[in-house]
Each structure stands twice: as structure tokens, then as C-alpha cells.
Amino acid sequence: MTSVIDYVAGDTLLHRLNPVTKLAVAAAVIVATLLADTYPLLVGLIVLTLAIGAYAGALRRLASLLKVLVPLAVIMLLLQTAVVRTGAPVVAWVTTDGLVTGSKACLRLLGVAMPLILMLSVTKMGDLANACVEVLHVPYRYAFTFTTALRFVPVFSQEMTAIMEAQTARGVEYDTRNPFRKLQLMLPLCVPLLVSSVGKTDATALAAEQRGFYLRTRASSYKRYPIVARDWVVLALCVALVALGAAL
Amino acid sequence: MSSPAIIRLDNVSFCYGQRDARALDDVSLEIRPGEFVGVTGPSGAGKSTLAAALSGAVPHHYRGSLYGAVYVDGQDTCEVSLTDIARTVGSVTQDIDAQMVASVVEDELLFGLENFGVPHDEIEGRLAGALATVGISGLRDREIATLSGGQKQKVAVAAILALRPRVLVLDEPTAALDPASSKLIFQTLSQLNRNSGITVVVIEQKVALLSEFCDRILVMNGGRLVLDGTPREVFAHGPELRQMGVDSPRVARVSNSLAEHGVIDPGPPCLSVGEAETLIRGLLAAHGEESLPAAGAGPSSADPLSAPSQVSPHTPVPSASERAESPVVDLSDVSFSYPGSGDGVAHVNLSVRPGELVGVVGQNGAGKTTLTKLLNGLLRPASGAVRIAGIDTRTVPVSRIAAHVSTLFQNPDRQLCKDTVLDEVAFGLELQGVDAREARQRAQAATERFGLPAGESPFSLSRGQRQMVALASVVVMEPQVVLLDEPTSGLDYRECMTVMETVGQMAERGCAVIMVCHDMEVVSDFAERVVVMAGGRVLADGSAAEVFAQPGLMEAASIEAPQVAQLSQALARSASPRFAGISQVSGIVDLVEEMVRP
């Protein structure tokens, strides 16, 4: 419920696209971001992602993601300015070249991280897995592994929260303000968490096998995921976007 | 009885991995189509292993040595694949989260249907049918992560049902559920059994449910099948069951105990409150005790019997609670709500004195867990104040509150983190700054008292023993307040009694005990005071006898009074007012004995 990849319900064009097309959109924006080398395009791609997010009603999700990403981006900028020392000095160790490469790296980080999360949040995991199997011919066991791993993220984080609450109630200082002390206290808990995760994974494997996992073929899915006209249009736009990234 | 068995076990034994200990020991058994079989027994009796053998997980998933043979629908399970066995036997395992393979209810049901190649034009019908059968059609598009425990359990059953198995094997489906949801699950199973002819095998600790719904009960102990019969036949062995660590329904205990005292002839025990009432009324009538004008209605009627004003001589004597000490726990007008949802608690007032043992009861979602988290400081009140031993919980960190309050959590594994039992028990003391040598001495004494292996890793112990380690770490702290969150779930009857007796002793020594518990029998046996919660509010706060005697209140909180309380109310109405307020089996038996033998 608190995970960033939870499904955001809706009925927009984006929601109705084939899950594979959505992956292509994310891939196109990412590739374009990596290829782009000018500020207008880099900023433009981020704005595009945010605009799509706003259209699909997932802007709040992106905002919470940005809260994590922006501090990371700032650290990256500082590191870059420390490494790249050519060009005219600006302030202290910072040079013009450092600022340029650093800020571009920053924008790329934001531009690369957001599209995939956005597309995953407007796609149901089951649909994504089935569509990848049907359209991309991905073997089902890989698709299943992937979706199960994503599904387990919130389950494990809940488990970790519960463990930490239990330990706090015993008097372990997880409520300390010192992040390093907190990390040091958390490490020993990885073992119980790992033990319970292995148990859970094994139980899921058994449950899947007892419901015919090994009988599944590409034709098994009840819902079908055809690539229709709107998908082709969007795919064409994706190609154009990548070309634009390469050109500018 | 003539139809051939759908599952047959011939002298089956099983050892996990390389171990020598037999989880199943020479079990022979036939399950016939259409039966509703309950399996019970103490922890470590081999119940889950039996379920695994029935569903083919033994030997196909769990490695070990299997002796004997299991036949499902005539085929030796060793010779067919797990997938093929699953066509006949659908199984629902204990960990319901791990059972799920999808994130949306609809996909969860589709998974099996698609895999087994059900023709696509039949899928919609089967899917909708399975959802309707367990009554969750409205949940079809919900994310599974947002469902309650009871709803998830129903999704798991529906996902299996859609595959139309002939046998359904369930391993403790109600372990995490409140009494109302537990009963609903059993009612659903019972309907499937009667209407669709599905054979049901269910492992369960709640004996009252087993006696109400099953037509056959198997009792396991030490890997062996020790009793096999109708509920009446099985619960006639009350004392033997008790010795093994298996509880009997309280009404069965009443009739068994009357027989032991020679008041009635030994025979099949009563299984419902109605039966016990009829039995006792008949006894009294035969001895010339005049019957009150028959109330006519059964024990569950909402006849508003006002709280008994005269205190019966059989109510447990309120012990330490009457000491005029100031409360050690004090909540005044406390409210808290979780961001994003309306859940939480509102305007809770509660004070608990040293030596009191308070039971908190109510449905899942009534706010009980929120209350415990407010008490141990994990949550801070949004308004009002929580004072523990005079400390306002808003002013100090949780880790400091821990010096006064110890919590025993439902799942001991979240509490355990050390390499040896001794370290584990000493850990809490060390955190509170107790000198290492003294901490170890006290921990040593505590582990010896509970008979725990001090040098072993807590994770290598059984579920029941892990709970004992967690309990020892609570006891060793000698706290002023103990919080228990479902202290008896996952434990067998004997372990449950050990936990509760220990807690009782702590209360006698002046510790305030607050216990959240779904098991009303445990609450009425041990708590002298009961707080009833619903929808985040406290509906009632009074003596156990008083609270359980109010049918309207029980209904408002969606809980069911313990059997003995129901029986004493029924008898107070129909036989003699002297029964009012009795909460213990022995109280009923003693009074009946006194009345029939002047």
C-alpha cells in the first residue's frame, strides 16, 4: 500500500495501452534521455514524463519518488563537480565544466528513473506478465519470477516494520536520531528476515505448482493482449522520440 | 460407507530431510467422498505433515523418507506428479500471504483456471461462481494486499474452488481470524461440503468449531493417529485429550465432569449449549427442582437479561484489583487514527491497577492492536494522554517506555534476534542497562524455570517453544505492565495454559496485565475484567461475568460469549436464577451437584 509501484487505478488512454507498449514508452523516454545532450531536451523529457503522469493521475506517485531522487541527484552533482575539474573555476573547487556535466548527469538520473516507475504504476502486474509472455514471448517462469519479486517488496517491508516495532518495544533504540546507529542496530535483523523470506518463497512455489504452474503455456492466458492501432501509433511516437534524442 | 475411499493412507511414515524423528508414524486412514473431517492435536503432532501427505506436497515438495503409500483417487501419490494430484486435491496452506500468486483477486482465481487449461468460454462462469460461493463477488477487482485476513482466506478458498477439486485440504484456516470470521469460514466449508459434495479435511485447534461442523474428527499425537470418530465419540475421551494437550468444547467438559462426579451416567458428551441446557434442566426436573417458566428461546436469543445484580458465589473473587492502589496504566480520552484511513481508536478511557488482569476483546479491526501500540509507545495519541507508571508516553522515547512495559507479540519470530536462548532472554535486561553478569544470572534462572535449552538457537526450536522464549524474555524483565497480543494463537492447549498460568502469576505479584485475545474461553478463564471494543471505541468495561452476560453487547461487538457463560444464562432463565453469572465449568458442575443431591 505504501510501495511506489502500486497500481494507480484509472481509465485513461495510457491505462488502456498494451502493457508492452507502455514498457516501450518507458524505454523510449529512457533511451532518449541517455542520448540527449542539450538542456532543453533533457528538461523537456522530464516535463513530458511529468505531463504523462499528470494525465494518468499518477502525479502524486511521481512526487513521492522525486522526494527520494532529488537528494540523490544533488549528491551526484556534488560528486561530479569534485571529479571534473577542467574549465573555468566558479566557486571553491567547482568549475564550469564540472557544473555542466554534473547538472546533466543529475537531469539524466531523474529522466531515467521516473518513466519506468510511472509505467509500472499504471499497469497491473498480472497484465504486464501475461502481455510479455504473449507479445514478447518471454518464458512465463521469468515473468512470474519478476512479478512475484515485485509483489514481495511490500510484504517484506511490512515484515521488517513489524520486526522493528517488536524490537523497539523491547527497548532497542530504533527511535534513535543517529542514522548510523540505527543501521548498526538493523543489521542483525537481516537474518530473521531472510529466514522468513526463504520460507515464504518456498510456500509460494508450492502453491503455484499445486495450481498447475508447470502446465502453463503461452496460450493459457484468458485475457488477451493484442497490439492494436493505438499501440502502433504510440510505438511510432516512441521511435520518433528516440530519433529526436539522438539528433539533439 | 460403502463408497471407495477418495484418499487412503496405508501405514504411512515420514521423516523430514535426514532426520530420524518421524513426523508421521505408521498412519493408516481412509477418507471417503463427502466427509467433513477435522484434524486436531497438540503442536508437533504431525498435523501439517498429514495435510502435506494428503495434498502430495509430501513426497513431491518436502524432501525426506516416506514409508507406506498414499492413494489419492486410487493412484499412488509417488507415481503421479504433484500437478496431477492437485487436480483432485486442492490445498490451502497456513501462511495465507505466501499462498497468493497474484496481486489482484481476479488474477488469483484465473491463475489456476488458465494453467489447467479450462476452456476459455467456461472461465468466466467458474470464476464468478467460485467468488459467489464464498460470498466475495464484490472483491473481484480488489488488490489482495488491501484485504483483511478473513477476506484473504476466502480468496484462497475461492481460487481452489474454481478448479473444482473433489477434496479440499486446509491447514489451520482460522488461525489468524477473529471468532466471527472463523465461523464464517467453517460455514462456507460446510455449505460446499453439503451442496457440492466436496470432501473437506481441515486442520484446526478450535475444538468448538470442529464439534459443531465436522462429522468426523481425527486426533494426532506424536505423529500417530490416536483417535478417529464422530465428535461425540472423540470428545468422550476428555481426560485423555487433555493429557495430550488437546482442549474439549466447554459444554462437553460440563457433561463429562457431571459423569465423573457420578451425577449422570457416563455417555456421549454434549456438543452444544442447547444440549447441555436440556441435559441439566432434565436433571433438575427429575430431582424436583421446579423449572422457571420456559424461556423457550435458545441461548443465543437477544433476550435482554439485565446484568446480574446479585453476585453469584461462583464468580471468581476479584483479587488484587480491589487494592486501593493508583493505576499504573491510565488513558484519558485517547484518540488516534492512521493517516489515510479512518481506522484507529477514539475517546478511549482506561485505567488499570497493579495486579489486574484485563482482557480486551472485539473483532479484527476493532482497534485492539492500536490500543496495545498506544500502550507501549509505538504510537502516540493524537489527542488525550497515555500515562504508563506516571510517564506520559509522548515525552519519552519508546525504548525508555520498554523499562516499564513488556510486550509479548503474537508472532514470537519478530521478537527473537540472538544466537542462543540465553542471550535472547538476557538481551532485554542488557538493553535496560542491567549489569551483564546479573542479566545472565537472571536469564539463566528464567530459562531453567521454563525448561528451555539455554545454549540452543531460538530459531531451531518449535513454534510453541519460541513463544516460550519470548515469554521468558518478558518475565525476566519484571515489568510493571505486560501487554499480550494474542498470546495463545498458534499454541496448543497445554502451551496456552503454561503461558496463561505464568501471566496469572505475574499479575498476582502486582504486575498489570492487558491481554488482547480472540479466544473467549481463555479470556473468561483468566481475565477478571473485560474491555469490549468495536469500531475503535470501548463499548463496555466490567467484570468478565457481567460483560459476557449481555447478549446485546456481544452482538454489537460481533463476538460470541464463551459457552459456559451462554449455558449459565440459559439455565438462569429456564432453570434457576442461581446459575446467573457462573463462568467456569466447575461452577456449573458444583451447583448442579448441590441442587440434585440435597
Residue B414 phi, psi dihedral angles, 5° rounding: -80, -20
CA of B430 to nearest chain A CA: how many angstroms apart? 9
- Start-end of CATH 3.40.50.300 domains in chain B: 7-229, 320-560
What local confidence, expressed as pLDDT, does residue A45 receive?
93
Whole-number Å distance between alpha carbons of A101 and A113: 18
Tell me, what amino acid is at A170? Answer: R
Nearest CA in chain B to A159: B414
Cell output for B416: 527473537
Residue A68 neighbours by CB under 8 Å, 6+ apart: none
Residue among B30, B7, B25, B11 at smallest CA distance from B91:
B7
* Cβ–Cβ below 8 Å for A155 and B411: no
From B100, B416, B428, residue closest to A171, measured CB to CB: B428
Nearest CA in chain B to A154: B145
Label each residue of B226-244 as H, E or C. Answer: EEEECHHHHHCCHHHHHHH
Whole-number Å distance between alpha carbons of B490 and B95: 12
Q: Which residues of B touch A162 (CB under 8 A)?
A: 411, 414
Label each residue of B255-323 as H, E or C. Answer: HHHHHHCCCCCCCCCCCCHHHHHHHHHHHHHHCCCCCCCCCCCCCCCCCCCCCCCCCCCCCCCCCHHHC
Residue A89 neighbours by CB under 8 Å, 6+ apart: A95
CB-CB contact of B343 with B367 (8 Å): yes
3-class secondary structure, B152: helix
CB-CB contact of B370 with B336 (8 Å): yes
Q: Which residues of A touch B117 (CB under 8 A)?
A: 215, 220
What local confidence, expressed as pLDDT, does residue B281 receive?
92
**Cβ neighbours, 10 Å, residue B124:** 11
Tell me, what amino acid is at B532? Answer: V
Give me the torsion for CA of B444, B446, B448, B449, rounded to 10°. 160
* Cβ–Cβ below 8 Å for B90 and A170: no
Quote the radius of gyration of chain B (alpha carbons, Å): 25
From B83, B93, B116, residue closest to A207, measured CB to CB: B93
**Cβ neighbours, 10 Å, residue B33:** 15
CA of B422 to nearest chain A CA: how many angstroms apart? 16
CA of A89 to nearest chain B CA: how many angstroms apart? 48
Interface ipTM:
0.80
Nearest CA in chain A to B399: A171
CB pairs under 8 A between A and B: 158
From B56, B417, B431, residue closest to A171, measured CB to CB: B431
Whole-number Å distance between alpha carbons of B423 and B446: 12
Chosen for mutation from B77, B124, B413, B469 (greatest number of chain A CBs closer than 10 Å) is: B413
CA of A47 to nearest chain B CA: how many angstroms apart? 29
Q: Which residues of A touch B159 (CB under 8 A)?
A: 211
Q: Which residues of B touch A201 (CB under 8 A)?
A: 98
Nearest CA in chain B to A202: B98
* Helix locations, B455-492, DSSP H: 463-475
Q: Which residues of B touch A193 (CB under 8 A)?
A: none
User: Kindly report the CA angle at B538 between B536 and B539, in degrees rounded to 5?
Assistant: 115
What local confidence, expressed as pLDDT, does residue B71 receive?
96
* Cβ–Cβ below 8 Å for A169 and B407: yes
Residue A238 neighbours by CB under 8 Å, 6+ apart: A24, A25, A27, A28
CA diameter of chain B: 74
* Class of the domain covering B320-560: alpha beta
Q: Which residues of B touch A210 (CB under 8 A)?
A: 55-57, 82-83, 86, 90-91
From B56, B83, B405, residue closest to A214, measured CB to CB: B83
Cα B193 to its chain centre, rounded Å, is 23
* Cβ–Cβ below 8 Å for A169 and B86: no
Q: Which residues of A touch B107 (CB under 8 A)?
A: 124, 126
Residue with cell 517484506: A156
CA of B339 to nearest chain A CA: how many angstroms apart? 12
What local confidence, expressed as pLDDT, does residue B314 receive?
39
pLDDT in tens, chain B (598 residues): 457 899 999 999 999 988 888 999 999 999 999 999 999 999 889 999 999 999 999 899 998 999 999 999 999 999 999 999 999 999 998 888 888 998 889 999 999 999 999 999 999 999 999 999 888 999 998 888 888 888 898 899 999 999 989 999 999 888 878 888 889 889 999 999 999 999 999 999 899 999 999 999 999 999 999 999 999 999 999 989 999 989 999 999 999 999 999 889 888 999 999 999 999 999 988 887 655 554 444 444 333 343 343 333 334 444 444 555 789 999 999 999 988 667 789 999 999 999 999 999 998 888 898 999 999 999 999 999 999 988 999 998 888 888 899 999 888 888 888 889 999 999 989 888 889 899 999 999 999 988 888 888 888 888 788 888 999 999 999 999 999 988 887 788 888 888 899 999 999 999 999 999 988 989 998 998 999 999 999 999 999 988 998 989 999 998 889 999 999 999 999 988 999 888 889 999 999 999 887 6
* Domain residue extents for chain A: 13-124+226-247, 138-215
* Cβ–Cβ below 8 Å for B415 and A166: yes
Q: Which residues of B touch A192 (CB under 8 A)?
A: 413-414, 416-417, 459
Strand stretches in B389-459, DSSP E: 391-392, 405-408
What local confidence, expressed as pLDDT, does residue B366 receive?
87
Whole-number Å distance between alpha carbons of B502 and B470: 13
* Cβ–Cβ below 8 Å for A192 and B459: yes
CATH 3.30.590.10 for domain B7-229: no
* Cβ–Cβ below 8 Å for A125 and B159: no
Whole-number Å distance between alpha carbons of B30 and B319: 51
How far CA B595 is from CA of A44, A113, B227, in Å, comes to: 91, 80, 35
Cα B224 to its chain centre, rounded Å, is 23
* Cβ–Cβ below 8 Å for A222 and B428: no
* Cβ–Cβ below 8 Å for B57 and A222: no
Whole-number Å distance between alpha carbons of B390 and A48: 57
Chosen for mutation from B49, B101, B406, B473 (greatest number of chain A CBs closer than 10 Å) is: B101
CA of B544 to nearest chain A CA: how many angstroms apart? 29
* Cβ–Cβ below 8 Å for B399 and A175: yes
What parts of chain A have a pLDDT lower than 50?
A: 1-2
Residue among B381, B405, B389 at smallest CA distance from B353:
B389
ω into B249 cis (within 30 of 0): no
Cell output for B364: 479484527
CB-CB contact of B78 with B66 (8 Å): yes
